Chains A and B, each alone.
Chain A
């Protein structure tokens, strides 16, 4: 018979030299943490420290939980002789708790009074002192220290090397012992954190006066009696409710798609695309028309911030959302029904541009009487007079306006509003919404700006829409500006007989605010772009003959992120016969009666609020159709709430709920290039004002939408659930709480962040 001899291990200092008097052997240590905190390694580290003292050690984790964040236990034993005990630790002498949120579950089981308890907490000693009066208690903010020392990552701080420092101090061990162990394990870098924990641990000695109040108390375990094999058939725990193990529960929750978040008009982009995909254009139109009275317009001219933010952009190209909006509006005749208002109000809307049309539309949709007052001969504002017909054909605009007016909106055109008229409207209506748009156009303020042949671009575009003959051009035309109006002017000039069109812009192409596709169209059609040039003088006798241009360098970024242009002394001259200025506009409210003031888009008379609101560019100066539509809608709803005396509309959105690219499981989606708009090829643009962009050929592009943050019932959760506890229901899915182990696989696998994990702790308490 050969017994294994438990001889002392070699090359070790004598045991008792370094072991404080109050550590008695054999010693059992239990550690509670969460997967990912490094709990098992912490137990190992403690074992290594005792091994350095020449003691026999044994350390192991309690495996089974399969995910980071799940409760984890680890054990260490220390003895002078070889350790035979292979059981888990049921009656620990030392207990380490890496996450105090775990306190309250059964982790104090088997802890006798006088035991050592170390908690990782940023709290004060007093918070725990009463509950743990029977124990030698240590409190250390190991997470804070480890984070400061940059151990782990910012989201997952690894605290094992730090907390062992506090443990050593609590036990009266020398810091030198740690140093040796850390060096041996290649963890010397973490010694600084361990030392900080060693110095900062808060310690409370056990109160010997207190007895019988130990929170852990005696561990009572009933060991089952031995039974005959056959007796066990009834004992099978048929209902092992694994849901009891979990601290978290998976659930379904919509998150905000970046397209919806970024849409200035407030459109439910994911909603209408998914409806188009599943049900067709009428269902999509029904969703679109809730917020968007001008889908045919925006489907053509919107700068589409939704597409810039589209999560698919990072995979194989943004979804062609603008193209889909156009496709829906071109393929549905649907008109929403006017709702019945509780109490009908009458509103005057000043201005028939996109903001005014949107405000009037929302008011009428909610069952109220609306009259639009427009100074021009027809409704549409900038849509009619500022956007050329090759981008927005007149019949398309008419279609949207007719749909809007069909809700029973009256319009009075060729009716400018002055101060007197304004006061009259205020008296006659329950509310007035001013949507007059921009007024004055900006100028350059350089020499020669009053020469003949220099014209404001918007004036030119407006004349072009009303009197084609008078706007015929010839020779070399120069357009100054980098926005959509500049591009529209350049392309219109090309169609009006110009032999060449040059676009002057003071920054680089990357800073241009025009829609990228429109810039490309313009270049394709023959417009020449001359970026990084600033006009400093116009030359000519009576009539424009040329421009003096200064070259520009880009400096530091401005507040808006675009680099500031710095004019140099390097000059060039450019001959031309016509100059169109597209330099943006200012907004003024010249029709306001005296003593009226506007503050926060609301009219005031001294201390009293008026039922007068401003919307669109005259209020926000955002300068896009979709911003104007959004502003018109929100202002109208806000005004309604005010007039009705109800709560104003609150639109609070948390950035956290927006679906980021990192939330998307790209691998779930096949790579598919975007469907591009079709373009008509024209040999000669001269006098050709037909629409160039023909839109999408079908609705297949809708298939490319990830449906970020919104469940499509794709079954991925159901397929991936390792427990098979997700079930289809009429409304979506159901997670069986009794069996969900909170592993989070469904949430991780959800391709579109339509799920989330929720802590169960709060529910239990």
Chain B
């Protein structure tokens, strides 16, 4: 175990490197990569690593990058890629395939606003494009979490009860380019945590087809299996947390990170780095005697519904902060979780920090003031971040 001062992009790449090396006694590691701001550092770092029985393929596009990952994973290799924004959009068609092939590919996404108009800053709209495709999704809040989540994502994705791709998200620049200390375990510990990759349906000596034509009944059966595996991932993740703690001596963050939530009458719900700002607001308002708490949704797919229902029980006012906008509806997170609260609770949606605004404590305090004044729930509001 060593402590390194590295950026979150590099932390993700380092996680993938250690995971890749851990598969050296099996089918190795293979990754297709293509650069895009703000993920470029991640793929650059990966390209610079020596991985025994590993290959990082620099391709012509994100679509091809995922193509390489699909090929590698269906041949039984451990596979990883990283992208952002429109790169992810371009990759999307192969992302659908990767999920439906049930391939345990892991991807790091530095969240960035989808263009045009061009904007390189943080917005969750890009990774949310994958919401309904059958990818596991995590949103991280600090460098350590990015590193840990990549390792856990491999273990979760490759679990025979789950077996599907996973993404680990970090807010572009705010996290991707921030350097901080990260505890890095040695290879031996990672080997213990991550057994070799086993893709049971991998292409082998006997010929078979992946993703062939299906009649409606077959398709429904496969979708159902995928859905059930996704739901099962919540419990599998809990087991992984235990295993992680046993091997690395510290516990990886929960699917839902709660902060002073148990006795709160008002909750701030968010994803990504806004969650840590919310926690600082909680500290500030708690000092003033207000019973405020924060809920950070770290695991977005599968949605940890039970955890959220538990924290929402008895809470009267909930502000849901979305760094995204589902046009014609409102924030995606708000739309997903508003049904989990008590029937008489006000669950107000706020879209804040959309397209990269620097969300500060004052912004959140302003929207909490607005929430206290709400008599009923109203249409989601956009919070201007100057």
Instruction: List residues of A whose CB falls within 8 A of some B CB.
Output: 1-5, 9-11, 44, 47-48, 51, 56-61, 63-64, 82-88, 90, 221-229, 232, 235
Contact = CB atoms under 8 A, between A and B. Distances in A.
Interface string B167-179: 0000101110111
B358 to A, nearest CB: 5
B386 A84 contact: no
Interface of B: 1, 3, 5, 38, 120-121, 141-142, 144, 171, 173-175, 177-181, 250-251, 253-254, 257-259, 261-262, 273, 276-277, 279-280, 330, 350, 358-363, 366-367, 369-370, 378-386
Given A2-B253, A3-B259, A86-B276, A60 B178 contact: yes
A231 to B, nearest CB: 9
Contact of A2 (B5, B175, B181, B254): B254
B142, B180, B253, B386: most-surrounded residue (chain A CB, <10 A): B180
9 contacts: A4-B253, A9-B181, A60-B177, A85-B280, A224-B366, A226-B367, A226-B383, A227-B384, A229-B382
Contacts of B259: 1, 3
A83 B179 CA distance: 11
B258 A1 contact: yes
Given A9-B3, A223-B366, A232 B180 contact: no
Contacts of B179: 44, 47, 57-60
- Interface SS of chain A: loop
B277 A86 contact: yes
Contacts of B358: 87-88
Given A58-B180, A226-B369, A228-B381, 4 more contacts: A60-B174, A87-B358, A222-B386, A229-B330
B386 A226 contact: no
Contacts of B383: 224, 226
A464 to B, nearest CB: 70
A235 B382 CA distance: 11
Contacts of B382: 227, 229, 232
A403 B282 CA distance: 93
Contacts of A85: 276-277, 280
Contacts of A10: 1, 3
A86 B178 contact: yes
Contacts of A44: 5, 179
A11 B1 CA distance: 11
A223 B259 CA distance: 25
A251 to B, nearest CB: 25
Contact of B177 (A61, A222, A225): A61
A34 B280 CA distance: 32
A5, A63, A226, A229: most-surrounded residue (chain B CB, <10 A): A226
A59 B10 CA distance: 14
Contacts of A222: 386
Contact of A84 (B1, B175, B279): B279
Contacts of B142: 82, 84
Nearest to A51: B5
B381 A229 contact: yes
Contact of A232 (B261, B363, B384): B384
Nearest to A7: B250
B3 A224 contact: no
Contacts of B273: 86
B121, B262, B363, B384: most-surrounded residue (chain A CB, <10 A): B384
A64, A227, A229: most-surrounded residue (chain B CB, <10 A): A229
Contacts of B367: 226
B163 to A, nearest CB: 27
Contacts of B366: 223-226
Contacts of A4: 144, 253
Contacts of A232: 382, 384
A51 B38 CA distance: 25
A3, A56, A84: most-surrounded residue (chain B CB, <10 A): A84
Contact of B173 (A57, A60, A90): A60
Nearest to B351: A229
A235 B385 CA distance: 12
A51 B183 CA distance: 13
Nearest to A84: B276
Contacts of A82: 142
A84 B284 CA distance: 13
A517 B30 CA distance: 61
Contacts of B120: 63-64
